[in-house]
């Protein structure tokens, strides 16, 4: 970040600004070939440019470093404050929310390169947009909800102790972003949705099963959740690489959830073994 | 099961998923892990056997103590452990189960250490690599030393439980003295036993999460220290064994073994001593060595 860099761009940079390069993995649609395109961008320290803002500026003038006109890059975003998960992508080789990826942090120096790729475990819809349906499908597999639907008023739910509240709160902050799945070596891309039900659920679903098993009313589905966790693709398919917990933006103790559900499944299986039916 | 709209009939593997998975985890500890501990403790006695012999009232040098104690142990296992065949069958069954399912399970994952170079991710990857290499090593180890695949042993030594240390040293060194191939075999042993010890220690750590014994991160950490400690101890034993046998002079070991048989071996063992080996110490050619060493079953 200096005015004396030999690789001066055609326009003399304002003091305090730097030119960075954004490399984007592009794909025009499902089954279409992938290609890389590179763009340059001028940013200045403290201007708060994040990946989304960078993509917006590129979209306004979609010209590659080679000077070729191109189609604006497609991306997804929502909350822009790291709570919805829509903008999740692989930034500089690691999965994260792009809305909270600030250029000052990820590309602090003149000439730094930022690579943007879509998550690799989900089907690409276009460029950086992927279809995260399987994240939600797997939540359905473990019935990650409280069963309150009915035809009459069920009344007030059971009280929650502050202790369970404390454990549950952080679990409830999961935004189904898919980071834990992208980084997990056991969660592999499934081209055919027919295999979804036997493939690994992923840390988020295991953790959500724990969240709802700890809920006074949610407990009603405990056995069904444990059956799903004991089945193919369940908690035993975890290989304990513990990448999930390291990449989770919400710092959810996923490996603790995996241990807790491992224990619950063990107890459930032993109970089943000794229950005559 | 799951909330799948389509309910396909489940295969045997799907129906018994948990049972098969947990058996895989269990077999790694009992009997395989337990056997590994016993095996390494026994084999490392080549270095600490002197202490064992001193307790039995014999003051021996380190080498003689090691050779003698190891001989005593091996003979005890071969001749006095009850139901040895049953134990072997159980071990083989467990090993086959653990490795075949392990291979299958390992194929369900795809390692990504290049993107996520976390220590735990490395262990995940190494756990799989050590499994693959480990089972090949075990087959080589048992094939060459027990099933007589001597064509895979440089120098062609046959392991004999009456001359346990000396024949093992021959197999590791590739002859009376180190040969290039012998160095390679010894290094191969060193690497593979290290991988297997890692595989066991790390597997013990992950098993505690799988079974739900350790949940909190601090509990996982504490158990991690225990596993690392056990792993370090076993690693030491494994290295002692490989280094101890590889640096052992087969001729010298043979002398000690003969002394052992003359003294404690009983009539059967003395008979098996056969013709006294005269050649090897003066003529270290491998064929002479082979002839001079009585082979099990002769
Ligand atoms: S557990 Fe964390 S990483 Fe996984 S989906 Fe939820 S918020 Fe994202
Ligand atoms: S601990 Fe399990 S769920 Fe988490 S990344 Fe590793 S294999 Fe995946
Ligand atoms: S846009 Fe919602 S998390 Fe980034």
Report the separation in Å between the CA atom of A96 and the middle of ligand 3, taken as the mean of its atom positions: 10
CB contact under 8 A, A236 and B217: no
A92 contacts chain B (CB < 8 A): no
Pick the CATH number of B17-109+121-277 from 1.20.1300, 3.30.70, 3.40.50, 2.40.30: 1.20.1300
Sheet with A94-97: list strands edge to edge: A34-44, A17-27, A113-117, A88-91, A94-97
Closest chain B CA to residue A252: B217
The confidence band for B67, taking pLDDT boundaries of 50, 70 and 90, is very high
Domains of chain A and CATH, by start: 17-129 (3.10.20.30), 132-275 (1.10.1060.10)
| Ligand 1 touching residue A250 (CB < 6 A) | yes
- Closest ligand to the CA of A201: 2
Q: Provide the shortest C-alpha distance from residue A210 to chain B (in Å).
A: 12
Q: Provide the shortest C-alpha distance from residue B240 to chain A (in Å).
A: 31
Q: Where are the domains of chain B?
A: 17-109+121-277
The confidence band for B268, taking pLDDT boundaries of 50, 70 and 90, is low
The 3-state DSSP class for residue A44 equals strand
The 3-state DSSP class for residue A144 equals coil
CB contact under 8 A, A243 and B120: yes
Mutate to test the pocket of ligand 1, among A137, A248, A256, A257 (most ligand atoms within 8 A of CB): A248
B 3-32: CB under 8 A from A: 3-4, 6, 13-14, 17-19, 21-22
User: What pLDDT, in 10s, does the model give residues B215-264?
Assistant: 999 999 999 999 999 999 999 999 999 999 999 999 999 999 999 988 87
Tally of CA atoms within 13 A in the half-sphere of A142 that contains its CB: 31
Measured CA distances, A216 to A74, A158, A161, A234, A273 (Å): 43, 5, 10, 23, 26
Q: State pTM to two decimals.
A: 0.89
The 3-state DSSP class for residue A153 equals coil
Q: Compute and round to an integer the Cα radius of gyration of chain A.
A: 23
pLDDT of chain A along its 277 residues, tens only? 444 444 444 555 667 899 999 999 999 999 999 999 999 999 999 999 999 999 999 999 999 999 999 999 999 999 999 999 999 999 999 999 999 999 999 999 999 999 999 999 999 999 999 999 999 999 999 999 999 888 888 888 889 999 999 999 999 999 999 999 999 999 999 999 999 999 999 999 999 999 999 999 999 999 999 999 999 999 999 999 999 999 999 999 999 999 999 999 999 999 999 997 6
Give the residue whose CA is nearest to atom 1 of ligand 1.
A204
Contact partners, residue A253, CB within 8 Å, separation at least 6: A170, A245, B217
Q: Which of B109, B115, B213 sits opposite A93 (nearest CB)?
A: B115
Tally of CA atoms within 13 A in the half-sphere of B117 that contains its CB: 2
- Cβ neighbours of A231 in B, within 8 Å: 1-2, 14, 17-18
Residue B277 pLDDT: 38
| Ligand 1 touching residue A246 (CB < 6 A) | no
Instruction: Please list the alpha-helical segments (H only) found in chain A.
Output: 51-60, 103-106, 133-141, 162-172, 179-182, 203-213, 222-230, 243-247, 254-273
| Mean pLDDT score across all residues of chain B | 88
CA distance A21 to B231: 47
Residue B6 pLDDT: 52
Contact partners, residue B230, CB within 8 Å, separation at least 6: B201, B204
CB contact under 8 A, A183 and B112: yes
- Cβ neighbours of A255 in B, within 8 Å: 209, 217, 220
User: What pLDDT, in 10s, does the model give residues B32-53?
Assistant: 999 999 999 999 999 999 999 9
Dmax over CA atoms of chain B, in Å, equals: 79
- Cβ neighbours of B13 in A, within 8 Å: 232
Q: Which of B13, B21, B118 sits opposite A236 (nearest CB)?
A: B21
CA distance A235 to A203: 8
């Amino acid at each position: 970040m200096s005015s004396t860099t030999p690789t001066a761009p055609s326009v003399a940079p304002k003091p305090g600004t730097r030119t960075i390069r954004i490399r984007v993995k592009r794909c025009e649609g499902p089954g279409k070939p992938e290609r890389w395109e590179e763009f340059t961008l001028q940013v200045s320290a403290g201007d708060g440019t994040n990946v989304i803002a960078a993509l917006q500026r590129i979209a306004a003038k979609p010209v590659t470093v080679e000077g070729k006109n191109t189609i604006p890059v497609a991306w997804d975003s929502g909350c822009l404050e790291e709570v919805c998960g829509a903008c999740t992508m692989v930034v500089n080789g690691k999965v994260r929310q792009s809305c909270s990826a600030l250029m000052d942090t990820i590309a602090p120096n003149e000439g730094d390169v930022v690579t943007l790729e879509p998550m690799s475990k989900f089907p690409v819809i276009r460029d950086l947009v992927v279809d995260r349906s399987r994240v939600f499908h797997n939540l359905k597999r473990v019935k990650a909800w409280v069963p309150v639907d009915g035809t009459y008023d069920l009344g007030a739910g059971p009280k929650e102790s502050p202790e369970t509240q404390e454990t549950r709160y952080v679990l409830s902050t999961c935004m189904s972003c898919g980071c834990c799945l992208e980084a997990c070596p056991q969660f592999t891309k499934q081209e055919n949705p027919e295999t979804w039900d036997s493939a690994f659920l992923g840390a988020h679903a295991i953790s959500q099963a724990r969240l709802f098993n700890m809920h006074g009313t949610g407990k009603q589905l405990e056995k069904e959740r444990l059956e799903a966790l004991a089945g193919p693709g369940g908690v035993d398919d975890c290989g304990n690489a513990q990448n999930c917990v390291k990449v989770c933006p919400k710092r959810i103790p996923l490996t603790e959830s995996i241990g807790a559900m491992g224990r619950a499944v063990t107890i459930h299986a032993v109970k089943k073994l000794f229950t005559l039916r | 099961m799951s909330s799948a709209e389509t309910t396909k009939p489940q295969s045997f593997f799907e129906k018994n998923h948990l049972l098969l998975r947990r058996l895989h985890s269990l077999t790694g500890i009992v009997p395989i892990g337990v056997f590994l501990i016993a095996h390494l403790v026994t084999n490392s006695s080549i270095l600490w056997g002197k202490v064992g012999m001193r307790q039995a009232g014999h003051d021996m040098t380190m080498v003689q103590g090691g050779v003698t104690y190891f001989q005593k142990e091996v003979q005890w296992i071969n001749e006095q452990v009850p139901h040895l065949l049953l134990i072997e069958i159980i071990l083989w069954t467990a090993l086959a189960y653990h490795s075949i399912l392990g291979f299958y399970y390992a194929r369900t994952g795809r390692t990504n250490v290049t993107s996520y170079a976390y220590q735990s991710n490395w262990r995940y990857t190494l756990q799989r690599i050590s499994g693959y290499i480990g089972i090949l090593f075990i087959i080589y180890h048992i094939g060459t030393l027990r099933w007589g695949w001597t064509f895979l042993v440089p120098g062609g030594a046959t392991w004999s439980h009456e001359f346990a240390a000396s024949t093992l040293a021959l197999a590791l060194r590739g002859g009376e003295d180190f040969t290039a191939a012998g160095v390679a075999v010894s290094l191969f042993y060193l690497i593979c036993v290290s991988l297997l010890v890692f595989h066991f220690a790390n597997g013990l750590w992950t098993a505690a999460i799988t079974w739900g014994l350790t949940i909190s991160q601090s509990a996982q950490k504490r158990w991690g220290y225990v596993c690392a400690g056990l792993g370090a101890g076993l690693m030491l034993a494994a290295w002692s064994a490989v280094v101890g046998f590889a640096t052992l002079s087969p001729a010298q070991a043979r002398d000690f073994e003969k002394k052992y048989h003359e003294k404690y071996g009983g009539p059967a063992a003395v008979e098996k001593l056969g013709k006294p080996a005269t050649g090897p110490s003066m003529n270290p050619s491998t064929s002479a060595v082979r002839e001079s060493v009585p082979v099990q079953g002769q």
